[in-house]
């Protein structure tokens, strides 16, 4: 089954950043500057061209309920900001927003590098919260789940391509 609790937690944290960004874009004045945490960039390499990777990179997000699209420069897949709805996270942090992006770069004719980075935002100081270590662990588990789903999608795409007459 696609997605798991940890990936949902990671995506939740990324959605926090999205919500804050959307409120600011609409001209809303937040009570205070949000606290934002950007996770460490996690990279991966796949045996596929960027043209093969982009649809699967988007699908790995959308299968988990994210709105994701190719950026205007066609080098990244970016999610919209969204609120994280995990009950424990709400209890520990209050309202959180999260967002993710995956930069996709060709290495050669058949290999592609991927760079996942995401962020979370909150009106409270995320990093000073005693549960911050749990949130970071959930973020990294979510990144691993994203890559697992992307690899699965690419393998299925390749299998379909090899079966085609």
Cα 15 from Cα 96, distance rounded (Å):
7
Please write the tens of the pLDDT for every residue from 103-162.
Answer: 999 999 999 999 999 988 888 888 888 888 877 887 888 899 999 999 999 999 888 888
**Terminal CA-to-CA distance of the chain, rounded, Å?**
29
Q: Which residues of 7-28 are buried (b: 16+ CB within 10 A; e: fewer)?
A: bbbbbbbbbbbbbbbeeeeeee
Q: How many domains does the chain have?
A: 1
Of the chain, the percentage scoring pLDDT greater than 70 comes to 81
Please write the tens of the pLDDT for every residue from 45-88.
Answer: 999 999 999 999 999 999 999 999 999 888 999 999 888 777 77
Structural domain including 159 reads: 5-163
What is the value of pTM for the model shown?
A: 0.74
Q: Quick check: 34 pLDDT over 60?
A: yes
CA nearest 150: which of 126, 116, 106?
116
CATH code assigned at 70: 3.30.530.50
Please write the tens of the pLDDT for every residue from 82-111.
Answer: 887 777 777 877 888 889 999 999 999 999
């Amino acid at each position: 089954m696609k997605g798991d609790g940890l990936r949902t937690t990671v995506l939740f944290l990324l959605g926090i950043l999205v919500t804050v960004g959307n409120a600011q874009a609409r001209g809303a004045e937040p009570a205070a500057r949000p606290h934002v945490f950007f996770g460490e960039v996690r990279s991966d390499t796949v045996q596929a061209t960027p043209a093969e990777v982009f649809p699967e990179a988007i699908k790995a997000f959308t299968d988990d309920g994210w709105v994701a699209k190719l950026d205007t420069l066609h080098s990244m897949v970016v999610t919209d900001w969204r609120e994280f709805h995990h009950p424990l996270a709400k209890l520990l942090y209050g309202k959180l927003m999260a967002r993710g992006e995956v930069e996709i770069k060709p290495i050669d004719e058949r290999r592609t590098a991927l760079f996942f980075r995401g962020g979370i935002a909150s009106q409270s100081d995320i990093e000073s919260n005693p549960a911050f270590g749990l949130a970071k662990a959930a973020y990294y588990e979510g990144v691993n789940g994203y890559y697992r789903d992307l690899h699965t999608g690419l393998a299925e795409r390749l299998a379909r391509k090899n079966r085609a007459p």
